[in-house]
Structure 1
Amino acid sequence: MSGQIIGLHDWFETPPGRYLLDWEQDQFDQAVADVFGYHALQLGLPEVQALRANRMPHRWLALSESDMAPRSSLVTDFSALPFPANSLDLVVLPHTLELSPDPHATLREVERVLVPEGRVVICGLNPASLWGMRQRRARIYQRLGFGELFLPDAGEFIGYRRMRDWLRLLSFEVESGRFGIYRPAVRSEAWLERCHWFDSAGERWWPIFGAVYFLVAVKRVRGMRLLSADWRRAAARASAPVPIAGRVHREHRDHRDHVRRSPHRKKQGKGS
């Protein structure tokens, strides 16, 4: 098997690939379950059903031409999505940016189609992890003519901090972020099971060195304020006349002085 290169979809059938997919599926289920709206889109990686826990009425899976799948809704270029601006409430990107030939253009396109306060959910491989370090070392060995890659030879790593910087430049606000997959880069299922304790230890002692990171970001638009459900009643209350405290006090004082000076009041006092 020296020098063998495994494809992305075949790699997800291996023990580490299934371990990765199981963790990511659980994260997507939690992240999208309470995101509401009308239109949601998953870009790429049909092996993960990233929108299955979401309850929006319109959900699509978009794939590139190289990733045909029977259940795909549409095939498109990720850097030129066939949606109008401000039309989608949720976009999920499972390893989409690191597999894209132009991740900057893809992320800009996602920002264009999202509505204000819409959400993007991103997962990617962390280069500062045991899996990332083994992949880089394996690529060096392959240049020398021996060894094999641990991960598929597809795409490039995008670091966690770099991804957050890209999101900030596009006016996204990172709502949450976490890491996962702390077991060593081993191929056999038996060794993965023996190293299961790495998951709890990694979350506690080296959380930023997980093999995968997971981000949820919100599109913010400056100068825009979302109205609550009772905005009509709030506007009516704001426009209702309000008595001025100083004026009321002055009118009450003038009326009291007038009553004191009234001659009718003096006559009533003498008679009594």
Structure 2
Amino acid sequence: MSDAKIIDWPAWLDSPPGRYVMAWEQAQFDHWVGDVFGYHALQLGLPELDALRENRMPYRGLVLPFRPQQRPAPAPVEVRAAAGCVHPHAHHARPVRDVLISRFDELPIATQSIDLAVLPHVLEFTENPHDILREVCRVLVPEGQIIITGFNNLSLWGAREQLARLSGKPFLPQPVDLIAFTRLKDWLKLLGFDLDRGRFGCYRPPMRREHWLARFSFLEAAGDRWWPIFGGVYGVRAVKRVRGMRLVGRVRKRILSLQPELKPVATPNTTHRDHPDS
């Protein structure tokens, strides 16, 4: 592999570091999406990675970014699974990924329709990550889950990317704007998400050559144990919480059957004939 400038995802994914990162992320997605249940799952971007392949929801959609020359989807619709839509050569009947072309910050999907949304390296390659997070929050059902992966700026990978930009030979796909893990957690918290789990990975140095990556394979176990926050990539899974109303204080119930019975009070019109002794 030469040191030529890598400028896009397809070229980077075909490189040794790209395959190394995608293998780690594929394993994490396979592990995290397997126990998320519901009806509708959605993946935004990075079609080279099948982040939902271990999920068993009836509908699994893929949203690709809208280009100016493409025609956007006409109107917001409720996501529905297509009956009998399976791979022709699949060993098990599983739905294919329906492809939708849309802006990530203006999804043509009804509010609270999605049970799971995965965003592999979406936020760091856009100019409006906050708008995309708000839009995903809108389409998620209460208690719906979101999974996000990104490059860790506090790592050797992030340091090399900063230095490589000065030399005009960036190491990561372009254009990338690394988002800190702590910053992402703050964004999710502001939107009402609770962090369910998070993990760092890819502790080998950012090398372009296959044999150099192989030589540092021992750092995987060591890094996960001794310096976990310095992995080259991170993954986050969070749950959308909808705060409900609750009663404050004790609730006192009046039970009428236990109230003393009241006797009629004599009125001025009561005569002597009305007295029981008369």
Q: TM-score band, normalised by the shorter chain?
A: 0.7 to 0.9
CA contact (8 A) 1:63 1:72 kept: no
**Given residue 9 of structure 2, which amino acid in structure 1 is its aligned partner?**
L
Aligned pairs for 1:253-264 within 5 A? none
Q: SS at 1:51's partner residue?
A: coil
Offset from partner CA, 1:226-250 (integer Å, 9 cap, x none): xxxxxxxxxxxxxxx9xx9xxxxxx
Partner in structure 2 of residue 110 of structure 1? 136
Offset, 1:99:
1.2
Amino acid at match of 1:14: S
Which residues of 2 match residues 7-156 of structure 1 at below 5 A? 7-65=8-66, 73-142=99-168, 148-156=169-177
Q: Tell me if structure 2 keeps the 8 A contact 1:135–1:151.
A: yes
1-structure distance, mates of 2:4, 2:113: 46
Give the whole-Å Cα distance in 1 for the aligned partners of 2:26 and 2:104.
Answer: 22
Structure 1, residues 179-217: CA drift from partner, whole Å, max 9, x if none?
Answer: 000000111111111110011111111100000110000
Matched length? 221
Matching residue's letter, 2:223: G
More helix by share: 1
Q: Whose Rg is larger?
A: 1
Deviation at 1:3, TM superposition (A): 7.1
Q: 1:107 corresponds to which letter in structure 2?
A: L
The residue identity in structure 1 corresponding to 2:11 is D
- Note if contact 1:8-1:154 (Cα within 8 Å) is conserved in structure 2: no
What residue is the counterpart of 1:257 in the other structure? Answer: none
Matched residues in 1 for 2:102 and 2:25: separation? 24
Gaps of 5+ in 1: 143-147, 226-240, 245-272
Compared with structure 1, are the counterparts of its residues 140 and 85 closer, same or farther at alpha carbon in structure 2 (3 Å cutoff)? same
Instruction: Return the letter of the residue paired with 1:43.
Output: L
- Name the CA distance, whole Å, in 2 between partners of 1:112 and 1:72: 20
Separation in structure 2 between the aligned mates of residue 99 and residue 6 of structure 1, nearest angstrom: 12
Contact kept, 8 Å, 2:60 with 2:98, in 1: the verdict is no
Alignment gaps of 5+ in structure 2: 71-96, 247-254, 259-278
Structure 2 distance, partners of 1:191, 1:5, is 19
Q: Deviation at 1:106? A: 0.2
Alpha-carbon shift at residue 65 of structure 1 (Å): 3.0
Shift of residue 141, structure 1, vs aligned partner: 2.1
Q: Structure 1-normalised TM-score? A: 0.77
Cα–Cα, structure 1 residues 160 and 5, in superposed 2: closer, same or farther, change >3 Å? same
In structure 1, C-alpha distance between the alignment counterparts of 2:206 and 2:110, rounded to whole Å: 42
Quote the Cα distance in structure 1 between the aligned partners of 2:15 and 2:187: 32
Q: How does 1:144-183 map to 2 (within 5 A)?
A: 148-183=169-204
**For residues 148 and 6 of structure 2, what CA distance do their matches in structure 1 show?**
26
Structure 1 distance, partners of 2:197, 2:225, is 18
Deviations 1:122-141 (A, max 9, x none): 00100011111000011122
Residue 240 of structure 2 is matched in structure 1 by 219
CA distance in 1, matches of 2:172, 2:128: 20
How many angstroms apart in 2 are the aligned matches of 1:169 and 1:6? 33
Equivalent residue in structure 2 for 1:199, among 206, 211, 220: 220
Question: C-alpha deviations, 1:134-158, integer Å up to 9, x for none?
Answer: 000111222xxxxx22112222100
TM-score by length of structure 2 reads 0.75
Matching residue's letter, 1:134: R
Residue type of the partner of 1:170? L
SS in 1 for 2:7: coil
> Identity, % of aligned pairs?
54
CA–CA distance in structure 2, aligned partners of residues 2 and 221 of structure 1: 49
